[in-house]
Amino acid sequence: MTKLTLGFVGLGAMGQNAARQLLLAGHRVQGFDLRQESLQTFAEHGGEVAASLAHVGKNAMGTVIFVVNAVQAEAVLFGAEGLAANAALGHLVISCVTMSAADAKRLAARCRASGLVFIDAPVSGGVAGAAAGSLSIMASGPADALEACAPVFAAMGSRVLNVGTEAGQGSTFKTINQLLCGVHLAAAGEAMAIAERAGLDTQQVFDLVSESAAASWMLRDRGPAMVMRTYVPVRSAVDIFVKDLGLVMDLARDLRFPAMVSAAALQSFLGASGAGLGNKDDSAVTEFYRLGASHHDH
Amino acid sequence: MTKLTLGFVGLGAMGQNAARQLLLAGHRVQGFDLRQESLQTFAEHGGEVAASLAHVGKNAMGTVIFVVNAVQAEAVLFGAEGLAANAALGHLVISCVTMSAADAKRLAARCRASGLVFIDAPVSGGVAGAAAGSLSIMASGPADALEACAPVFAAMGSRVLNVGTEAGQGSTFKTINQLLCGVHLAAAGEAMAIAERAGLDTQQVFDLVSESAAASWMLRDRGPAMVMRTYVPVRSAVDIFVKDLGLVMDLARDLRFPAMVSAAALQSFLGASGAGLGNKDDSAVTEFYRLGASHHDH
């Protein structure tokens, strides 16, 4: 298999795991992150730490970007030390960032103007999927660029969908994926909380609904935390869904689409975040429905 | 195994199948329905057709009621020819009807006053589950009555939950089950419709989300109909969820519980029903989001 030299920016929980998969696959990876401890962990697993953002991807065919949002991605690309000023012409920008289709299109256009090639490749599967190299990758971009990225995707993910040739298509796929994840989480939170309010045994309710036509992946995965009302470990945070359902709302507004159920789900995440639970596990969305009742956070 | 003599009222699609399971298990079943063709089908499978509602359960230990709602159940129990006027003291009323907890409590109290014993035993699993004898049954009622019903439940269902000793508890379980089913259906409808509006390949979107953290049982089961935009066969109708999410709203109001996501989901079913799709398959809820675009109903 071709061994590539790659840049990698954003070594948080997911990025760190995804970068490790690239290292395990034998690729050479030059990593950067603003957090020193993230760089240390990266180095311990065989990564080359770039001295600064300006050094990332100097001699690489492309750079994987695994930051939190479009604003951070834009800084990585077009900030003072960004890739646009330092990478070679034709450098592949492999964006695994969850952002709006509008932002993906805009960044792709700016990349094009700077001689970079933007790949819109958001992922699904969370920290666990990244650790297992089993992410789903929803990639759109020029066909030859996607082909060149195939070894990168193969290392990080177990399912790679080629969803189109335009930036924005990958992000729209991811937005719709998050619509369902967010609504299912809010619905699970609503169901478990109303069960408790009605005086039912919530564990028995969970046992029933997680094995009936009422089941969802999110309910099965996050339901036990809702029954216990303990929100550690943090798999994904309440505020991640504030962001991701916000992207759904932006898309819906752009399309003049009445996404009522998603809008209601967003309100429950906003309520939980506003109650101080923004950095708790996303299962804490159920606490929105139990305001006033104390929860257990060990 | 004990062979019982049972009454059975309500031989629609689900009831017919459930009654057949009782016959297959060797029980003697006296059936009644207002529709002549339902009685005919029932007789063809070995059921005894009761001459009128007044004859149902004359010599039976109990009567299974599989009608559509509390109003119909009340008529079966307390109408002119109803069980209260004709059945023996201590007759078991096995209500598999989806109704509000408040109605279940009210009917149970009226039964008690008339010498009947009401079992609140709604089911989940649909027509298919009824045909396979694999319904989930959420039963609440006096412990000895539940015990006496065990052979009945064993014939109709594969999972029998004893959820309490009071009428209303079973119905609350079922209401919460329907909360999740209804929200998941509306979310699937919203997701597939916005995917189409955004110009994505809806089949490809379905393939992704039905196998990711975005998956739900309802999405997997009803998603293909939403992609094809064909709403036959009718597994459960749009108007069933207008009713069932209405029960969720009633419960939430009684409990002073803000069930926002369910409320939004109900609006989408109301919209679909108001557009003339009430008797279509529940997957037609997605058409609410595509009003103006024609769908294909073969």
Would the pLDDT of B298 be above 60?
no
Structure confidence at residue B59 (pLDDT): 87
Contact (CB<8Å) A200/B172? yes
What tokens appear for B173 in the block? 């379980």
Is B216 within 8 Å of A184 when comparing Cβ atoms? Answer: yes
Write out the DSSP string of chain A.
----EEEEE--SHHHHHHHHHHHHTT-EEEEE-S-HHHHHHHHHTTPEEPSSGGGTTTT-SEEEE--SSHHHHHHHHHSTT-HHHHSPTT-EEEE-----HHHHHHHHHHHHHTT-EEEE--EESHHHHHHHT-EEEEEES-HHHHHHHHHHHHHHEEEEEEEESSTTHHHHHHHHHHHHHHHHHHHHHHHHHHHHHTT--HHHHHHHHTTSTT-BHHHHHHHHHHHHT---S-SSBHHHHHHHHHHHHHHHHHHT---HHHHHHHHHHHHHIIIIITTSBGGGGGGGGGTTS-----
Residues B180, A209: C-beta atoms closer than 8 Å: yes
Question: Which chain B residue's Cα is nearest to A262?
Answer: B187
Residue of A105, A160, A177, A180 to mutate when probing chain B, most B C-beta within 10 A: A180
Does B243 participate in catalysis according to the annotation? no
Q: What is the mean pLDDT of chain B?
A: 95
pLDDT tens string B158-203 = 999 999 999 999 999 999 999 999 999 999 999 999 999 999 999 9
Cβ-based contacts under 8 A for chains A and B: 202
Tell me the pLDDT tens digit for each residue of A190-220: 999 999 999 999 999 999 999 999 999 999 9
pLDDT value of residue B58? 84
* Closest Cα in chain A to B181: A214
Q: Give the pLDDT of residue A86.
A: 93
Q: Model ipTM?
A: 0.93
pLDDT score for B235 = 87
Residues of B in contact with A262 (CB under 8 A): 187, 190
* Digit-coded pLDDT (tens) for B39-76: 999 999 999 999 999 999 888 999 999 999 999 999 99
Among A166, A174, A183, most B C-beta atoms within 10 A, so best to mutate, is A183
Measure the CA–CA gap between B291 and B227, rounded to whole angstroms.
15
Q: Which residue in A261, A269, A270, A282 has the most chain B C-beta atoms within 10 A of its own C-beta, making it the best mutation to test that interface?
A: A261
Task: Point out the least confidently predicted range of A23-32, B8-17, B256-265, B288-297.
Answer: B288-297
A34 residue type, one letter: L
d(CA B165, CA A186): 30
The answer to whether the CB of A203 falls within 8 A of the CB of A240 is no
Check A180 against B187: CB less than 8 A apart. Answer: yes
Report whether B192 contacts B223 (CB < 8 A): yes
Closest Cα in chain A, distance from residue B88 (Å): 33
pLDDT classification of B293: cutoffs 50, 70, 90: low
**Interchain contact, B179 vs A201, CB within 8 Å:** no
The answer to whether residue A297 scores a pLDDT higher than 80 is no
Please give the pLDDT value at position B2: 77
- Average pLDDT on B113-141 reads 95
- Between chains, do A163 and B201 touch, taking CB under 8 Å as contact? yes
CB B137 within 8 A of CB B173: no
**Tell me, what's the pLDDT at A126?**
87
**How far apart are the C-alpha atoms of B160 and B138, rounded to whole Å?**
6
Q: Distance from A189 to chain B by nearest Cα, in Å?
A: 10
Residue of B nearest to A218 (CA): B213
Position A131, amino acid: A
Domains of chain A plus CATH, in order, are: 5-165 (3.40.50.720), 172-290 (1.10.1040.10)
Strands A48-49 and A62-65: unpaired
Which of A127, A162, A176 is the best mutation test for B, with the most CBs of B within 10 A?
A176
At B291 the pLDDT is: 83
- Burial track A199-231 (b if 16+ CB lie within 10 A, e otherwise): ebebebbbebbbebbbbbbbbbbbbebbbebbb
Confidence band, pLDDT 50/70/90 cuts, at residue A233: confident
What residue of A is the nearest CA neighbor of B185? A214
- Average pLDDT of span A186-193: 98
Instruction: Report the amino acid identity of residue B90.
Output: G
Torsion-angle region of A26 (φ positive above 0: left; ψ -120 to 50: alpha; else: beta): left
| Percent of chain A scoring above 90 in pLDDT | 93
Q: Provide the pLDDT for residue B234.
A: 87
CB-nearest to B208 from A161, A191, A252 is A161
Looking at residue A50, what is its pLDDT? Answer: 96
Kindly compute the dihedral angle of the four CA atoms of residues A191, B186, B66, B148, in this order, to the nearest 10 degrees: -30
Q: Among residues of chain B, what percentage have pLDDT more than 90?
A: 93
Over residues A133-156, the pLDDT tens digits come to 999 999 999 999 999 999 999 999
**Cα–Cα distance between A287 and A177 in angstroms, integer?**
23
pLDDT of res. A291: 83
Query: Hunting for tokens 């059936």 — which residue is that?
Result: B31
Sort out which chain A residues have CB atoms less than 8 A from B176's CB and list them.
191, 194-195, 198, 200, 205, 209, 214
pLDDT-based confidence at residue A59 (cuts at 50, 70, 90) = confident
Q: Who's near A51: CB < 8 A, 6+ residues apart?
A: none
Distance CA(B238)–CA(A52), nearest Å, equals 58
Alpha-carbon distance B26 to B14, whole Å? 19
Q: How far apart are CA A211 and CA A100, in angstroms?
A: 34
Q: Compute the distance between CA of residue B54 and CA of residue B5 in angstroms, rounded to an integer.
A: 16
pLDDT band at residue A225, thresholds of 50, 70 and 90?
A: very high
Closest alpha carbon within chain B to A184 = B184
> Is residue A21 a contact partner of residue A12, using CB atoms and an 8 Å limit?
no
Residues of A taking part in catalysis: 174
- Considering only CA atoms, which of B100, B134, B130, B120 is closest in space to residue B243? B100
CA-CA-CA-CA torsion for B193, B199, B200, B203, nearest 10 degrees?
A: 60
- pLDDT of A292 higher than 80: no
Residues of A in contact with B247 (CB under 8 A): none
Task: Look at residue B292 in the predicted model and tell me its pLDDT.
Answer: 66
Name B185's Cβ contacts closer than 8 Å, sequence gap at least 6: B218, B222, B241, B265, B282, B283, B285
State the pLDDT at residue B297.
58
Catalytic residue among B3, B58, B174, B243: B174
- B267 vs A260: CB contact, 8 Å cut-off? yes
Signed CA dihedral, A235, A237, A243, A249: sign only: positive
What is the C-alpha separation between B11 and B17, in angstroms, rounded? 8
Inter-residue contact B104 to B120 (CB < 8 Å):
yes
The pLDDT value given to residue A204: 96
What pLDDT is attached to residue B83? Answer: 96
Average confidence score pLDDT of chain A: 95
CB contact under 8 A, A201 and B268: no
pTM of the complete model: 0.94
